[in-house]
Amino acid sequence: MCGIAGYIGKNQASNFLLDALKRLEYRGYDSAGMAVLNGENNLNYLKSLGRINELEEKMKKIELNGCLGIAHTRWATHGHPSEANAHPHSDCDENIFVVHNGIIENYKILKEDLIKKGHLFKSDTDTEVIAHLIEEHFKGNLEEALLSALKLVEGAYALAVISKDDPEKIVVAKKSSPLVICIGKDENFIASDSSAIAGYADKVIYLDDGELGIITKDDYRIISIANNNKIQKEHCNIDSDVADLQKNGHKYFMLKEIFESPEVIKNSTRGRIIPEKGLVKLGGLEVLDQEKLRNIKRIILIACGTASFAAMVGEYMIEEYAGIPVEVELGSEFRYRKPIIDSQTAIIAVSQSGETADTLASLEEARRKGALTLGIVNVVGSTISRETEAGVYNHAGPEIAVASTKAFISQMTVFALLSVYFGRIKEMSLTMGKRITEEIEKMPCLIEEVLKNDEQIKNIAREYSKYRNFLFMGRKYNYPIAEEGALKLKEVAYHIHAEGYAGGEMKHGPIAMIDENFPCLFIIPSDSVYEKMWSNMEEVKARNGKIIAIATEGNKEIKNIADDVIYIPKTLEMLTPILSAIPLHLFSVYMGMELGCDVDKPRNLAKSVTVE
């Protein structure tokens, strides 16, 4: 969850490190710090509680000169947010400094043993044991000491380590947490993801689990943690642009990213649709034996959080149009079950970052059982993209806000493409294939129409910001969107409690909460379950509940029952979730703003959940 960065080269390290931390702040923002080593082997460090700007203010008063350094922005796991618990952590003599993303599961046992040996601890974190373990094994060579230390460590880690007694290098290691090395000219960089390095260099190396890197200002070396053998790595292009990391006039990244939804769909579908033939071309799946795809009897979609709601929409789409049984599983639950999987089962891992720890663990379990493993990810070169046999990239571009919006829109779009792809392999007609693909191509323009309701949605949010409980309801394709709307409101307007429910379940409990102080938001497009949703609204109205409705353009009767109506254009029923999600995302942002929340960085959350 945390963000780490490192620099070694010819320039002041602190300049890059501060910039990198700002770009990585979505990974955690409880505290931050950096350590910089200069040519005279003086190692200075600085820590601060809170956001990166607190560290930046301290840096104006204290010089951190040097051309080698590491930095960290924290999402707390062990120990309360505090300066003492902020990274970097050091050994007893402040010779060795460590930044870490992950969890050391056996840290208590290691810490007790180290204390018995005379080591003095200054924090409550699990990370500090790594610094002391390295100290215990250090004999002048940093990578050898780290290799020895890692043999004792159980858990997940992305590590960057420096030492004033073995200067002119940064040593890094990876297991179950992301880490990249970027190669520049007379300078090299490391970070949790490539967005931190965009604009500084254009080539990146993705470390795999069990690999250790030794980085100097003009070279690098990768070895196996298990046997010290040298490993050759391929360079990849950084798939982001500095311009993508700017707000472009919007107050928050989340707002910018919602308004990028039309472009996101264009990017997610570009070159993938052949509308005149009713076909979808997915290059990432062409590497597979097509007969193997035809023989798939069952699909399991594995995801967490918002991605799981996109997967639920995908479940409806694929079952209805491709005729393949689909199940949606939470990665955090699937990994501990004993699922029945065989060679005719396809596992599709869905993750914006491609680094979600629970989804990755589930993927590994599925692979062991012989399933076909596929991925839907946004980050090129991410672990899921490398660990699966094939897959589809979202091409949504960098997503900076912690709460996912444009990646969610892209994921649903990719599922629509997959439905046609699998459907046409199976029994979908040319006519149906053409109808769906033609309608997918219209989606960017239809979303532009939805975004024109921005000011109306802002006013509705202002009106409803006094309420502290909401019920979101939908049916069939829009039930997952009710769940997504409630989650977004909880994430970015976190003083409010919200529940997402299937409309038919309201009578089975939630209706007890309804009164004039408990507004309900209904997703009620003119589809196959419209009348059923109308009955739900009647039940709420009979109990004096206020109603916000998301309805299809041209529906006049909805105004007779709803207090406020937000219209979306007419489209195929299977594609309505893509349109109905947009007003819910906007509603959440404006509710959060009304309540004074930082909608880009909600409290207690981090963008990429890389620890269990």
Nearest to 203 by CA among 236, 180, 232: 236
- For 507-607, strand residue ranges (E) read 520-524, 547-552, 564-568
Beta-carbon contacts of 219 under 8 Å, excluding residues fewer than 6 positions away, are none
CB 247 within 8 A of CB 220: no
Catalytic entry in 2, 67, 304, 520: 2
435 φ, ψ (degrees, to nearest 5):
-65, -45
Active-site residue flag, 2 = yes
Q: How far apart are CA 127 and CA 517, in angstroms?
A: 46
Residue 602, C-beta contacts closer than 8 angstroms, at least 6 positions apart: 402, 403, 491, 492, 494, 592
Helix (H, G, I), strand (E, B) or coil at 458: helix
Residues with Cβ < 8 Å from 98, sequence gap 6 or more?
70, 87, 88, 89, 90, 127, 128, 130, 131, 134, 159, 160, 161
Cα–Cα distance for residue pair 590/185, rounded to 1 Å? 44
Q: How far apart are CA 521 and CA 484, in angstroms?
A: 12
Phi-psi region of 289 (alpha: psi -120 to 50; beta: other; left: phi over 0): beta
Cβ atoms 391, 385 nearer than 8 A:
yes
Q: Helix and strand tally (H, E) in the chain?
A: 18, 26
Q: How far is CA 29 from the centre of its chain?
A: 15
Q: How far apart are CA 48 and CA 71, in angstroms?
A: 12
- CA 601 to chain CA mean position, Å: 13
Sorted by sequence, the CB contacts under 8 Å of residue 339 that are 6+ apart come out as 300, 329, 365, 366, 369
Distance CA 370, CA 74 (A): 37
Residue closest to 570 by CA, chosen among 584, 592, 588, 555: 555
Q: How many CA atoms lie within 13 A of 335 on its CB side?
A: 16
Contact 175, 210 (CB under 8 A): yes
Q: ω before 583 within 30° of 0 (cis)?
A: no
- Whole-angstrom distance, CA of residue 213 vs CA of residue 211: 7
Number of Cβ within 10 Å of residue 435's Cβ equals 15
CA distance 61 to 179: 31
Give the C-alpha separation, 34 to 432, whole Å: 57
Instruction: From the candidates 22, 256, 546, 607, give the one annotated as an active-site residue.
Output: 607
Burial readout 300-311 (b: 16 or more C-beta within 10 A, e: otherwise):
bbbbbbbbbbbb
Pairwise CA distance, residues 274 & 437, whole Å? 8
Which amino acids are annotated catalytic?
A: 2, 607
